[in-house]
Structure 1
Amino acid sequence: MLRLKMLILLSIVVSSVFPCAASDDKRNFTEGFYFGVMPENFTWGVSTAAFQIEGAWNEDGKSESIWDRFSHEGGHIALNQTADVSCDSYHKWRDDITILKELGVKHYRFSLSWSRIVPDPTTGEVNQAGVNFYLNLITALKEAGIEPMVTLFHWDLPQILEDNGSWGNETIIQQYKHYADVAFSHFGYWVKYWLTFNEPWVVTWSGYGIGEYAPGIKQPATLPYLYAHTIIKCHAQAWHLYDTTYRPRFNGMVSITLNTDFFAPKNSSKPEDVEAAERAAQFSVGWFAHPIYVDGDYPQVMKDYVQRNTNSTDGSSRLPKFTDSEKLFIKGTFDYFGLNHYSTSLCEPADAAYQASVPKGYLGDMEVKLTRDPKWQKSSSSYLYYVPWGMRGILNFIRTNYNNTPVIVTENGVTDRNGTLLDFFRIQYIRAYINELTKAALIDNCNVIGYTVWSIMDNFEWTSGYTQKFGLYYVDFDNPQRPRVAKQSGTWYKGVIADHGFPDPMFPPKDDLRRTT
Structure 2
Amino acid sequence: MKLLIIIGLAAVWCDAAQWQDRRFPDDFRFGAATAAYQIEGGWNADDKGESIWDRLTHTNPDFIADRSNGDVAADTYSNYRTDVQMMRELGLDAYRFSIAWSRILPNGISSKVSDAGIAFYNNYINEMVKYNITPMVTLYHWDLPQKLQDLGGFMNPNFHEWFEDYARVAYENFGDRVKHWITFNEPREICYEGYGSDTKAPVINATDIGTYYCAKNLLIAHAKAYHAYVKDFKPKQGGVCGITISVNWVGPLTDSEDDRLAAEIKRQAEWGLYAEPIFSEYGGFPAELCNIVAWKSAEQGYRRSRMPEFTDEERTLVRGSSDFFGVNHYSGTLVSATHYKETHPVPSLLDDAGVGVYNPPEWPQSASSWLRLSPNSLYYALTHLDTKYNKPIIYVTENGWSESPEDGYYIDNGRVEYFRAKLNDALDALEAGVDLRGYMAWSLMDNFEWNQGYLERFGLFEVDFKSEYKERRPRKSAFVYKHIIETRVVDPYYEPDSLTMWIDDGHYFQSAYYNNQYSSGPFSVSYN
Q: Same-fold call, TM > 0.5?
A: yes
In the alignment, the residues of structure 2 paired with residue 235 and residue 497 of structure 1 have an alpha-carbon distance, to the nearest angstrom, of 32
Do 2:402 and 2:457's aligned partners in 1 also have CA atoms closer than 8 Å? yes
State the one-letter code of the partner of 1:184: Y
In the alignment, the residues of structure 2 paired with residue 420 and residue 64 of structure 1 have an alpha-carbon distance, to the nearest angstrom, of 33
Residues 224 and 32 (structure 1 numbering): CA distance in 2 closer, same or farther, change over 3 Å?
farther
State the one-letter code of the partner of 2:237: F
Is 1:71 matched up with 2:57?
yes
Residues 354 and 236 (structure 1 numbering): CA distance in 2 closer, same or farther, change over 3 Å?
same
TM-score (norm: length of structure 2): 0.88
Corresponding residue number in structure 2 for 1:42: 28
Corresponding residue number in structure 1 for 2:91: 104
TM-score (norm: length of structure 1): 0.89
Cα distance, 1:316 vs structure 2? 2.4
Cα distance, 1:425 vs structure 2? 1.0
Is 1:204 matched up with 2:191?
yes
Cα distance, 1:234 vs structure 2? 0.4
Corresponding residue number in structure 2 for 1:454: 442
Corresponding residue number in structure 1 for 2:390: 403
Residue 80 of structure 1 is aligned with which of 67, 79, 89? 67
Residues 122 and 372 (structure 1 numbering): CA distance in 2 closer, same or farther, change over 3 Å?
same
Do 2:12 and 2:376's aligned partners in 1 also have CA atoms closer than 8 Å? no
Do 1:19 and 1:33's aligned partners in 2 also have CA atoms closer than 8 Å? no
Corresponding residue number in structure 2 for 1:150: 137
Cα distance, 1:504 vs structure 2? 10
Cα distance, 1:382 vs structure 2? 0.8
Is 1:191 matched up with 2:172?
no
In the alignment, the residues of structure 2 paired with residue 41 and residue 350 of structure 1 have an alpha-carbon distance, to the nearest angstrom, of 46
Corresponding residue number in structure 1 for 2:332: 344
State the one-letter code of the partner of 1:434: L
State the one-letter code of the partner of 2:246: N
Corresponding residue number in structure 2 for 1:468: 456
Corresponding residue number in structure 2 for 1:275: 261
Residues 503 and 423 (structure 1 numbering): CA distance in 2 closer, same or farther, change over 3 Å?
closer
Cα distance, 1:169 vs structure 2? 1.4
In the alignment, the residues of structure 2 paired with residue 480 and residue 290 of structure 1 have an alpha-carbon distance, to the nearest angstrom, of 47
In the alignment, the residues of structure 2 paired with residue 153 and residue 58 of structure 1 have an alpha-carbon distance, to the nearest angstrom, of 18
Deviates more, 1:70-79 or 1:487-496: 70-79
For 1:131-167, what per-residue CA distance to the aligned partner results, in whole angstroms no more than 9, with x for missing partners?
A: 0100011111011110000000000000000111111
Residues 273 and 156 (structure 1 numbering): CA distance in 2 closer, same or farther, change over 3 Å?
same
Is 1:288 matched up with 2:277?
no
Is 1:330 matched up with 2:338?
no
SS in 2 for 1:501: coil
In the alignment, the residues of structure 2 paired with residue 206 and residue 473 of structure 1 have an alpha-carbon distance, to the nearest angstrom, of 28
In the alignment, the residues of structure 2 paired with residue 19 and residue 448 of structure 1 have an alpha-carbon distance, to the nearest angstrom, of 23
State the one-letter code of the partner of 2:366: S
In the alignment, the residues of structure 2 paired with residue 97 and residue 314 of structure 1 have an alpha-carbon distance, to the nearest angstrom, of 53
Alignment of structure 1 residues 405-420 onto 2, 5 Å: 405-418=392-405, 420=409
Corresponding residue number in structure 2 for 1:178: 165
In the alignment, the residues of structure 1 paired with residue 68 and residue 459 of structure 2 have an alpha-carbon distance, to the nearest angstrom, of 18
Alignment of structure 1 residues 157-306 onto 2, 5 Å: 157-267=144-254, 269-294=255-280, 295-306=282-293
Residue identity over aligned pairs, in percent, reads: 36
State the one-letter code of the partner of 2:322: F
Cα distance, 1:121 vs structure 2? 2.4
In the alignment, the residues of structure 2 paired with residue 359 and residue 97 of structure 1 have an alpha-carbon distance, to the nearest angstrom, of 47
Do 1:379 and 1:385's aligned partners in 2 also have CA atoms closer than 8 Å? yes
Is 1:119 matched up with 2:119?
no
Corresponding residue number in structure 2 for 1:89: 76
Do 2:484 and 2:491's aligned partners in 1 also have CA atoms closer than 8 Å? no
Do 2:110 and 2:165's aligned partners in 1 also have CA atoms closer than 8 Å? no
In the alignment, the residues of structure 2 paired with residue 299 and residue 222 of structure 1 have an alpha-carbon distance, to the nearest angstrom, of 16
Corresponding residue number in structure 2 for 1:433: 422
In the alignment, the residues of structure 2 paired with residue 21 and residue 215 of structure 1 have an alpha-carbon distance, to the nearest angstrom, of 40
Residues 181 and 420 (structure 1 numbering): CA distance in 2 closer, same or farther, change over 3 Å?
same
Corresponding residue number in structure 2 for 1:514: none
Residue 135 of structure 1 is aligned with which of 108, 112, 122? 122
SS in 2 for 1:433: helix
State the one-letter code of the partner of 2:487: D
Residue 351 of structure 2 is aligned with which of 357, 364, 370? 364
State the one-letter code of the partner of 1:500: R
Deviates more, 1:445-454 or 1:368-377: 368-377
Do 1:152 and 1:195's aligned partners in 2 also have CA atoms closer than 8 Å? yes
In the alignment, the residues of structure 2 paired with residue 225 and residue 422 of structure 1 have an alpha-carbon distance, to the nearest angstrom, of 43
Residues 369 and 21 (structure 1 numbering): CA distance in 2 closer, same or farther, change over 3 Å?
closer
Do 1:46 and 1:109's aligned partners in 2 also have CA atoms closer than 8 Å? yes
For 1:359-416, what per-residue CA distance to the aligned partner results, in whole angstroms no more than 9, with x for missing partners?
A: 5310011121112112111111011011141110000110111111011000000001
Cα distance, 1:314 vs structure 2? 7.8
In the alignment, the residues of structure 2 paired with residue 122 and residue 56 of structure 1 have an alpha-carbon distance, to the nearest angstrom, of 20
Residue 468 of structure 2 is aligned with which of 467, 480, 486? 480
Q: Name the count of aligned residue pairs.
A: 481
Do 2:243 and 2:326's aligned partners in 1 also have CA atoms closer than 8 Å? yes
Gaps of 5+ in 2: 1-7, 494-514, 516-528
Cα distance, 1:107 vs structure 2? 0.3
Residues 393 and 33 (structure 1 numbering): CA distance in 2 closer, same or farther, change over 3 Å?
farther
In the alignment, the residues of structure 1 paired with residue 262 and residue 447 of structure 2 have an alpha-carbon distance, to the nearest angstrom, of 36
State the one-letter code of the partner of 1:48: T
Corresponding residue number in structure 1 for 2:40: 54
Do 1:36 and 1:503's aligned partners in 2 also have CA atoms closer than 8 Å? no
Gaps of 5+ in 1: 1-16, 23-28, 506-516
Post-superposition, which runs of at least 4 consecutive aligned residues in structure 1 deviate over 2 A?
Answer: 17-22, 29-35, 121-124, 311-316, 353-360, 501-505
Do 1:350 and 1:367's aligned partners in 2 also have CA atoms closer than 8 Å? no
Residues 504 and 70 (structure 1 numbering): CA distance in 2 closer, same or farther, change over 3 Å?
closer
Corresponding residue number in structure 1 for 2:367: 380
In the alignment, the residues of structure 1 paired with residue 16 and residue 351 of structure 2 have an alpha-carbon distance, to the nearest angstrom, of 35
Do 1:21 and 1:33's aligned partners in 2 also have CA atoms closer than 8 Å? no
Corresponding residue number in structure 1 for 2:413: 424
Deviates more, 1:466-475 or 1:166-175: 166-175
Do 1:45 and 1:451's aligned partners in 2 also have CA atoms closer than 8 Å? yes
For 1:227-283, what per-residue CA distance to the aligned partner results, in whole angstroms no more than 9, with x for missing partners?
A: 11100000000000000001100110100000021001101x211111111121122
Residues 387 and 400 (structure 1 numbering): CA distance in 2 closer, same or farther, change over 3 Å?
same
SS in 1 for 2:54: helix
For 1:198-236, what per-residue CA distance to the aligned partner results, in whole angstroms no more than 9, with x for missing partners?
A: 001001111112211111221111111111110000000
Q: CA RMSD in A?
A: 2.1
Cα distance, 1:355 vs structure 2? 5.6
In the alignment, the residues of structure 2 paired with residue 423 and residue 356 of structure 1 have an alpha-carbon distance, to the nearest angstrom, of 36
State the one-letter code of the partner of 1:361: S
Do 1:18 and 1:32's aligned partners in 2 also have CA atoms closer than 8 Å? no
